[in-house]
Structure 1
Amino acid sequence: MSFIAAAPPLVRTTPPSDPAPLGTVSAGAWWPEIDLAALRDAMRLDGTITAERLRPAVQDALASTIEQLLAWSLVHITAGRPSFADVPALVIDGESVNVQRFRRAVYCTAKANLIERYSDYDTTGRARKDTQEETRDGQAEEHRRDATWAIRDILGVPRLTVDLI
């Protein structure tokens, strides 16, 4: 009689102790830069999301966020504001809340995209449970909601619109 024991695959769940610098993603001088290492820490992205996966997700999230703020930004650019951080807003911890909200919108959109794209890295052949899939979908939707709220807060519009039908 023979017995073959197969261990589960090794998945690195934390970045290496001395990771290579991830850099930043920039959309021009007026918009805040996104620090990829800070995003990874803030959104609790482990080592399964490589830099090659993270950068395109952040680029897409940055483009999406800027598109939603484009009309608002043009008003402030034509008013002579040299950068996003110079738009008048409450300052907390030495930073404009608009910059904090912009960062949150980009971070949350990027994480929602990553959750949807890379929701299954289980290579053992086991089927995903329906409850796990629902949980991932719910997490992605919560991140999208948070991003929408951050953008609406920057725009100064209510977070919710209710119409009677």
Structure 2
Amino acid sequence: MSGFIAGGVPTTAFPISNSDFWPEIDGQHLRAAMRITDAVTDDRLEVAAVNAMIEANRELAGYRTANEAKGFTTLADVPAEQINGESQLLHLYRRVIYCSALAELVERYSSFDATNSGEKKVTEEETSADQLRRDARKALRTLLGLSHTTVELL
């Protein structure tokens, strides 16, 4: 993932709009929070974020429907504890999007080298993408009020 750390970070703001219930995503906040440099263009970052938003919104469709039935028109309206002056649900939603988007970028920007060091780098990046997906899944389950562990007796 070192390709995302080195280099500059663009400062031109760009919002990524969402449906009415879900918050828009600030592309520059995503870039800064996840340490994504200008090696990834705004267009590519937007594509990854939009894909993450589509998947998250699809998985959270039942949650949205249930809360809209209770009269809440946005995620920010759903009662929740505040952290840093904002609903913890908004923080969790952004974490789902940020981690999912970066996981996609890590996979798409992976480089391959036939040497052992190149193989090791690809393996590290795959692990990193898996870790990011795990973090996204954990945030999604927390948002839904579900346990992070599923145990089934056979």
Q: TM-score, length-normalised on structure 1?
A: 0.84
SS at match of 2:66: helix
CA distance in 1, matches of 2:46, 2:70: 32
Corresponding position: 1:161 with 2:144: no
What residue is the counterpart of 2:23 in the other structure?
32
CA distance in 1, matches of 2:145, 2:33: 25
What residue is the counterpart of 1:15 in the other structure?
9
Does the CA contact (< 8 Å) of 2:7 and 2:39 recur in 1? Answer: yes
Higher helix share: 2
Deviation of 1:127 after TM superposition, in Å, equals 3.4
Corresponding position: 1:110 with 2:101: yes
What residue is the counterpart of 2:124 in the other structure?
135
What residue is the counterpart of 1:7 in the other structure?
none
Does the CA contact (< 8 Å) of 1:22 and 1:51 recur in 2? Answer: no
Tell me the C-alpha RMSD between the 2 structures.
1.6
SS at match of 1:127: coil
Corresponding position: 1:149 with 2:138: yes
What residue is the counterpart of 2:40 in the other structure?
49
CA distance in 2, matches of 1:28, 1:102: 13
CA distance in 1, matches of 2:44, 2:145: 33
Structure showing greater Rg: 1
Deviation of 1:68 after TM superposition, in Å, equals 0.9
Does the CA contact (< 8 Å) of 1:116 and 1:136 recur in 2? Answer: yes
Task: Provide the aligned length of Structure 1 versus Structure 2.
Answer: 147
Deviation readout 1:47-68 (Å, 9 max, x if unpaired) = 1101121110000001111111
Identity of matched residues, %: 35
Corresponding position: 1:83 with 2:70: no
Bigger shift: residues 155-164 or 106-115:
155-164
Deviation readout 1:100-133 (Å, 9 max, x if unpaired) = 000000000000000011112x8xxx53621111
Does the CA contact (< 8 Å) of 1:23 and 1:35 recur in 2? Answer: yes
SS at match of 1:46: coil
CA distance in 1, matches of 2:99, 2:18: 17
Corresponding position: 1:95 with 2:80: no
What residue is the counterpart of 1:5 in the other structure?
none
CA distance in 2, matches of 1:26, 1:147: 20
